[in-house]
């Protein structure tokens, strides 16, 4: 791996990468679940290798799948974790977390009756009962519907607002752009770029040319002509985003390549974070 990170306290840091890029491996190393072959890492001033117990006391980890007991109620799940973590006054903290995560009305229902979004919120609430300094959220919105995903974004922002440092992994570019103060792009175990969403966009002095089509035939024909270009297809809108350096020369070359194909509209935009991600990974 080629990973060098410096994460600010109280920020939302996002590790953005495709499936298999190594996101979960990094989380496991930093949370002491896996030993690194080489290199150094410290959290809250503690060395991950030498001070594993202190690191574990300072962090909390929420994996890709909700680790809740379906036979217990939400209240019982929280109190159980509170007792295991030797939390004083676990009962009052449980009530506060149920309210914070909008679970008060369902507090005494078996978790087996919860929706995926409710189970995910409870899972994160359980991670916070011990008041960790850092919380790792490994792809927390995977499998959630759009409404639940937006609700989870609100929860994550609120957590960061209390001073907790959030280490978030995701494969969703929109999620990284919506939430993160700082984004690191991970590809095949190596950080290939990092910065704020705006900083990443400005790294490429590029423009996105959006080509729209009225029919399927020209839409498919254009894709055949775009070999050598970096582009993204949007099947739902029957359009293609093509990355250029913003010059008239490249625009002219693009138009020459698709000459004779019926285009409904052409629009020039600043490169999006998705455009930047795809360009970086392809290189």
Q: What is the rounded average pLDDT of the residues 32-49?
A: 89
Our separate counts of H helices and E strands in the chain read 11, 12
**DSSP letter string, 216-281:** HHHHHHHHHH-TTSEEEEETTTTEEEEEE-S-HHHHHHHHHHTTTS--SEEEEEEPPHHHHHHHHH
% the chain with pLDDT above 90 = 43
pTM of the model: 0.74
Calculate ∠ Cα 7-13-16, nearest 5°: 125
Q: Which residues on neighbouring strands pair with residue 230, listed in sequence order?
A: 243
pLDDT for residue 105 is more than 80: yes
The mean pLDDT value for 223-234 works out to 87
Model pLDDT, residue 62: 86
User: Please, what is the average pLDDT of the chain?
Assistant: 88
pLDDT digits (tens, 9 = 90+) for 138-197: 988 888 888 888 888 988 898 888 889 999 999 998 999 999 999 999 999 899 989 998
Looking at residue 238, its pLDDT comes to 94
Structural domain boundaries in the chain:
12-200, 204-282
Q: What is the CATH number of domain 204-282?
A: 3.30.70
pLDDT the model gives residue 283: 65
pLDDT given at position 264: 94
pLDDT of 38 higher than 60: yes
Q: Domain 12-200 carries which CATH code?
A: 3.40.50.300
| pLDDT over 70 (residue 278) | yes
The phi, psi pair for 89, rounded to 5°, reads 55, 45
Nearest of 269, 183, 258, 163 to residue 7 by alpha carbon = 183
Distance of alpha carbon 74 from alpha carbon 109, whole angstroms: 7
Q: What is the pLDDT of residue 166?
A: 95
Whether the Cβ atoms of residue 43 and residue 34 lie closer than 8 Å to each other: no
What is the pLDDT at residue 52?
Answer: 92
Question: What percentage of the chain reaches a pLDDT higher than 70?
Answer: 96
- Count Cβ atoms within 10 A of the Cβ of residue 198 and give its class: 0-12 exposed, 13-18 middle, 19 or more buried: exposed
Contacts of 265 (CB under 8 A, 6+ apart): 210, 211, 212
Q: List the one residue out of 198, 116, 121 whose CA is nearest residue 154.
A: 121
Res. 72 pLDDT band, cuts 50 70 90: very high
- Please determine, for residue 280, whether its predicted confidence score (pLDDT) is greater than 90: no
Higher pLDDT pick, 135 / 280: 135
Name the pLDDT band for 13 (thresholds 50, 70, 90): very high
C-alpha dihedral, 132 to 57 to 32 to 125, nearest 10°: -40
| CA dist 186 → 47, 53, 60, 283 (Å) | 23, 28, 22, 13
């Amino acid at each position: 791996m080629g990973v060098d990170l410096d994460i600010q306290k109280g920020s939302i840091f996002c590790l953005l990468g495709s499936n298999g890029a190594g996101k979960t491996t990094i989380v496991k190393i930093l949370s002491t679940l896996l030993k690194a072959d080489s290199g150094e890492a410290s959290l809250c001033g503690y060395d991950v290798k030498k001070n594993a117990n202190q690191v574990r006391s300072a962090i909390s980890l929420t994996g890709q799948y909700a680790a809740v007991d379906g036979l217990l109620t939400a209240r019982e799940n929280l109190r159980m974790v509170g007792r295991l973590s030797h939390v004083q006054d676990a009962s009052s903290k449980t009530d506060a977390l149920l309210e914070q995560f909008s679970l008060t009305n369902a507090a005494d229902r078996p978790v087996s009756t919860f929706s995926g979004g409710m189970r995910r919120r409870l899972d994160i609430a359980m991670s916070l009962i011990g008041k960790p300094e850092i919380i790792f959220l490994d792809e927390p919105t995977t499998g959630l519907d759009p409404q639940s995903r937006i609700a989870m974004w609100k929860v994550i922002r609120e957590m960061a607002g209390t001073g907790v440092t959030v280490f978030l992994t995701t494969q969703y570019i929109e999620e990284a752009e919506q939430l993160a103060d700082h984004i690191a792009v991970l590809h095949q175990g190596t950080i290939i770029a990092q910065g704020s969403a705006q900083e990443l966009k400005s790294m490429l002095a590029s423009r996105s040319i959006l080509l729209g089509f009225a029919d399927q035939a020209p839409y498919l024909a254009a894709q055949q002509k775009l070999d050598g270009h970096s582009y993204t297809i949007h099947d739902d809108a029957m359009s293609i985003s093509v990355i250029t350096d913003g010059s008239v020369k490249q625009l002219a070359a693009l138009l020459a390549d698709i000459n004779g194909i019926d285009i409904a509209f052409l629009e020039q935009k600043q490169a999006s974070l998705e455009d930047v991600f795809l360009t970086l990974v392809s290189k």
